[in-house]
Structure 1
Amino acid sequence: MSSVDPAQAESLFDEPADERARRPEAAGVPEAQRPLAVRMRPSGLDEVVGQAHLLGPGTPIRQLVDRDVPMSLVLWGPPGTGKTTLAYVVAGVTRRRFVEVSAVSDGVKRVRAEIDLARRELGMTGRQTVLFVDEVHRFNKAQQDALLPAVENRWVSFIGATTENPFFSVISPLLSRSLLLTLEPLGEDDLREVVRRALADERGLGGRVELTSEAEDHLIRLAGGDARRTLTYLEAAALVAADGEAIGVDVLEKAVDRAAVRYDREGDQHYDVISAFIKSIRGSDVDAALHYLARMLEAGEDPRFIARRLIVHASEDIGMADPTALQTATAAAHAVEFVGLPEARINLAQAVIHLSLAPKSNAVITAIGEAIGDVKKGLAGPVPAHLRDAHSKGAAKLGHGVGYQHAHDHPGGVVRQQYAPDAVEGRRYYRPTRHGAEARFSDVLERIRAVLRGRGDDRAP
C-alpha cells in the first residue's frame, strides 16, 4: 500500500502536499531567491546547452520525446552536465507528472508508494508519470529490484541519474530495460553560453551585473565542465560585488576563495609550465613536479594532455631503468578517462611521484632515434635471405629461409646468426645505462650480443 495520504492532495492524483513542500516555491521561497542554477533550468530541449550528441535531430531521446511514448533512461555523466535538467525537461515537454526520488534520502517505501500512485493514475486517467531517481547507484540491489515491475510494465517512465559507471553500479535487469545515455562534461563554449545567458536572462541576473572577460575565463576554468558549479560561483560573485561594480577576477577570487592561476592554455604559460613539469620529473624533484601538476589542474588544463605527457616521459626519460613506469603512466591515463576529475588528480599524482623517483635512462629514445636516422640515410639494404618468408611457392628455389636457425632449438634460446641487413650489421642502437633495472638488462644484452656475434657460447643469457 502507498504511504501517501490522498487527503494531502487536492485530488487523488495531484502531487501530495509533502512532495510539494519539498519544492522551494512551495516553502515560501520567492522566485528571485531560488538558486540561480534552479532558476536557469531549461524549460525545453532547445534550451539545453551541450550534449548535442544526445539532443540533435533523430537522436533516441528526441524520438522518445517527440513521440511521447513510455521510456526508461539511465543518464550517466559527471556532476553538473544536465542529468536532472534532462529529466525535468522530458517530463515538462511531454506533460507528464514528475516525481523526483533521491537515492541518498529515500528508500524502497517511498519508491513503492510513488509507483502505486503512478499505476493508479495511469489506469484511471491515462496520464503517465516520470519517476526520476537521482544517484540511482546508491540504491542497493534489493532497492533497484523494486523498480523492475514498474519499468517492465511501463507503469512509469523511469529516468535514473548516476555519476558512477552503470555497468558496475546498476543491476543488469534494470540496465537492460533502459536506454543508456552518456553525458559529457560541458566544453568552454557551452559554459560561456550558460554564463552569458544567466547574466542577461530575467530569470537569472537580468543584466544587472557585468562580468569581465578575465573573470569569465577564470570562472570557466574553475567550473571544470560543471554547469551547476559555474552558476553557483557566478551567483556568489554577484552577491559579493558592490552595486554597479563589474565582477572582476578579484571579486570572483573573494567569492569562491580560489586564487586565479595565471595560465593561458593557448599561450606561453602552457608551454612553460609543461616544460618545467617534465624537466622536474626528469630531474627527480618530486615536490616541484607535484607543484606544476597542481598548477595545471587548478588552471583547468586538460588532464588527458597531462596524462599523455606522462606516458611519453615514462619511455623517453625512464625506459628500461624502470619498465613499470610506463605501466603506471598508462594506468593513470586510463584512470583519467574512466574516473575523471577531481578524483583522477590522485592517480595523476601517483604517476608523477613514481616517475619522479624512478631511475632515469634515455637509452630507449636514443636507440630508436639512431635507428631511424640510419634508415633516413639509406642504410637499409635487403633482408638477409635466411630470414625471408619461405612459405610462398618457389621461395626455396630463391634461397628464402635456407639456413635459418630456429632460436628455440638451441640452448638458451639464442644462436649465432645474422639478423640485421649488411648495411647496419654490427650497429649498436640500444646502449643501456647502469641505472635501476636497466643494469640487469645491460648484463643480459652483453651476453646475448656475444652469442650473436660468435664471441660466446650458447648458454642461457
Structure 2
Amino acid sequence: MEPDLFTAAAEDRQAKEPSASPLAVRMRPRTLDEVVGQAHLLRPGSPLRRLVGEGGGGPAGAASVLLWGPPGTGKTTLAYVVSQATDKRFVELSAITAGVKEVRAVIDGARRSSGAYGKDTVLFLDEIHRFSKAQQDSLLPAVENRWVTLIAATTENPYFSVISPLLSRSLLLTLEPLTDDDVRGLLRRAVTEERGLKGEVTLPEDAEEHLLRIAGGDARRALTALEAGAGAALAKGATAISLATMEEAVDRAAVKYDRDGDQHYDVASALIKSIRGSDVDAALHYLARMIEAGEDPRFIARRLMISASEDIGMADPTALPTAVAAAQAVALIGFPEAALTLSHATIALALAPKSNAATKAIGAALEDVRAGRTGPIPPHLRDSHYQGAQKLGHGRGYQYPHDLPGGIAAQQYAPDDIHGKRYYEPTRYGAEARYAEVVERVRARLRGERGEN
C-alpha cells in the first residue's frame, strides 16, 4: 500500500467514529480560512491562495513548495489543505524512513494515477533536510515534469539543507511560530466545537495558561495535552479541567512565571545574579524555570552574552566566545535541544572567574565623554593620508610602534584633557591577573620609563 496519510480504511472509521481520531487530527483545518496563524501567507492573492486556485489567475506557477518553520506551526496541515482544496491525491513520505526507492514508487504511482484517472498527486515530504543530495536529486524529474506537486517541509534553513536545483524550482514559504493568542484561540475552539470536545469539559484560565506554556507555540502539542487533560477530568467525573488535573495529565508542574510581567524580569535577574555570584546550581534552577515557562531561548542567550562581558570580562576571555557560540547554536537548533546549549553556557559562565573591570572601564570613559572631557586629538595621531594634511602638521612626529623594540612607542595617545587618566583597572582574578601585570608594564613604557619588555 502506498504511504498515504489518510488511507481509505482510516477515513471510513473517522467518518463513522470521529472521536476515534486524536484531537489534533480532528481539529486539523479543512480550508485555508481555518488555518491558525500565518496571516502573512494567507492574505488574498498570496502565493498559497493562488496555489489552491483562489484569487483569480489560476494556481501559482511553482511546481513545488517548500514550507520552512518550527515544529507545530502547520506545515503538514497546509499540505493537506492544499491537497483537499485542489482535489488531488495526497501522499505523505517522511525523509526519516523513506529513501530513493519509496520516492520513485510514489512518482510511478502519480504518473499512473494521472494517466488512468486524470487525478494529480500532491507528495508531502516531511523533514526534507534529512534527505541526502542524491535523494533530493531523485525528486527533480518529477518536479520538472510536474508529475507531482511536491510540498516539502523542513525545520532547517533550506538555503543550507536543500539542493539549489530543487530550491530554485520551488516556492519558499516561511512559517512563523504561533503566538499565544493563536494557540489560545485554537484551544477554545477545540473545547467547544462538535468535532473537538463538544463542550463536555471547560478549560479554566490557569489550566489554559499552563497549556500555553508547555505548548511553546506548537499547536499539535497543545491539542495533545488538552486531550489528555480532558480525558483525566472526565475520568474523575469532573466537567472542568483543573490546573492540578492538567499537571497530572501532562506530568509537568505549572511554573509561576509571567513572560510579560514582573516574574519575567525577576527570574531573568535571578539567573544573572546567580551567575555573577558563581552559584552554578541556583543559575541552573532559574534557567530551568525560564525554559519550562516557554521563555524565548534567544532572550536567554542574549542575557548570557551580556553577562559574559559585564561580570566576567578579561578574567576569562573565553566566556564571551562561549556565550556567542551558544546564541548562534540556539538560533540554529531551537528548543528542546537548545536547552542543552544554554545549560552548557550557564555552567561555564557561573564557574568562570569574575571581573567587572571592563564594565567599570567603559562606564568611566563614557562619563568623561558625556561631561565634555574630550579635547582635540593630538596632531601626530591625526589622519595624514589626504592632500594638505602635511601642511596642517597632521601625522608629524608619529612613531610607528612596529619599528621599535617591544612594539611600544613612548608617545601621547589620549587628548590633553584626559592624558594620564586610567579607566581600566584590572582585577587579580583568573586570566586578568596576568593582564594586570601587562598593563602596568605597557603604561610604564608609554610614559618613557625603561623596564622589562
State TM-score, norm by structure 2.
0.92
Aligned equivalent of 1:186: 178
Of residues 13, 20, 33, the one that matches 1:46 is 33
Q: 2:14–2:21: 8 Å Cα contact kept in structure 1?
A: no
Match of 1:413 in 2: 407
Aligned twin of 1:81: 73
1:292-333 deviations in Å (ceiling 9; x for gaps): 101111111221111111010000000011111001111111
Q: Distance in 2 between matches of 1:337 and 1:371?
A: 34
Q: Are residues 1:331 and 2:325 paired?
A: yes
Give, in angstroms, the shift of residue 24 of structure 1. 5.4
Q: Is it true that 1:450 corresponds to 2:444 in the alignment?
A: yes
For the 8 Å contact 1:447–1:456, the answer to whether it is kept is no
Matches within 5 A, 1:125-274: 126-242=118-234, 243-274=237-268
Q: 2:281 aligns with which of 269, 273, 287?
A: 287
Name the counterpart of 1:315: 309
Given that 1:210 and 1:246 are in contact with CA atoms closer than 8 Å, whether structure 2 keeps it comes out as: yes
2:87 pairs with 1:100: no
- Contact between 2:379 and 2:395, CA under 8 Å: does it hold in 1? yes
Pick aligned residue for 2:82 from 54, 76, 90? 90
Shift of 1:169: 3.9
Matched, 1:35 2:22: yes
* Contact 1:97–1:129 (Cα < 8 Å) also in 2: yes
Asked if 1 retains the 8 angstrom alpha-carbon contact of 2:156 and 2:332, the reply is no
> CA shift at 1:28, angstroms?
8.2
Distance 1:28 1:90, change over 3 A: closer
Counterpart of 2:51 in structure 1 is: 64
Contact 1:277 1:293 (C-alpha < 8 Å) held by counterparts? yes
- For residues 290-369 of structure 1, the aligned pairs below 5 Å read 290-369=284-363
For 1:3-42, list aligned pairs within 5 A.
Answer: 20-21=7-8, 23=10, 25-26=12-13, 30-42=17-29
Residues 104 and 382 (structure 1), Cα distance of their counterparts in 2 relative to 1, 3 Å cut? closer
Is the CA contact (8 Å cut-off) linking 1:70 and 1:156 kept in structure 2?
Answer: no
1:20 touches 1:26 (CA, 8 Å); kept in 2? no
| 1:8 aligned residue | none
1:416-435 paired onto structure 2 within 5 Å: 416-435=410-429
Tell me how far 1:125 sits from its aligned partner: 5.1
1:397 aligns with 2:391: yes
Structure 1 unaligned regions, length at least 5: 5-14
How far residue 221 of structure 1 moved from its aligned partner, in angstroms, is: 0.4
Task: Quote the Cα distance in structure 1 between the aligned partners of 2:46 and 2:375.
Answer: 55
Are the structure 2 counterparts of residues 263 and 19 from structure 1 closer, same or farther at C-alpha, using a change threshold of 3 Å? Answer: closer
User: In structure 1, which of residues 90, 111, 125 is the aligned counterpart of residue 103 of structure 2?
Assistant: 111
Contact 1:321–1:436 under 8 Å retained in 2: yes
Contact 1:72 1:179 in 2 (8 A): yes
SS at match of 1:181: strand
Contact kept? 1:361, 1:433, Cα under 8 Å: yes
Alignment RMSD? 2.3
Q: Residues of 1 paired with 2:165 and 2:10: CA distance? A: 32
Q: 1:201 to 1:364 in 2, by over 3 A?
A: same
Aligned residue type for 1:352: T
Shift of 1:112: 2.1
Q: Deviations over 1:24-45 (max 9, x none)?
A: 5448871122111111111111
Deviation, 1:236, is: 0.7
Q: Which structure 2 residue ranges, 5 or more long, are not aligned?
A: none
> Using a 3 Å threshold, how does the CA distance of structure 1 residues 362 and 55 change in structure 2: closer, same or farther?
same
Contact 2:229/2:249, CA 8 A, preserved across alignment = yes
SS where residue 198 of structure 1 aligns? helix
Separation of aligned partners in 2, 1:24 and 1:366: 68
Secondary structure of the equivalent of 1:23? helix
Scaled by the length of structure 1, what TM-score is found? Answer: 0.91
| CA 22–103 in structure 1, closer or farther in 2 if over 3 Å, else same | farther
CA deviation digits over 1:389-411, x for unaligned, max 9? 22333322222222122222222
Identity %: 65
Give, in whole Å, the separation in 2 of the partners of 1:26 and 1:72.
32
Q: Distance in 2 between matches of 1:411 and 1:241?
A: 81
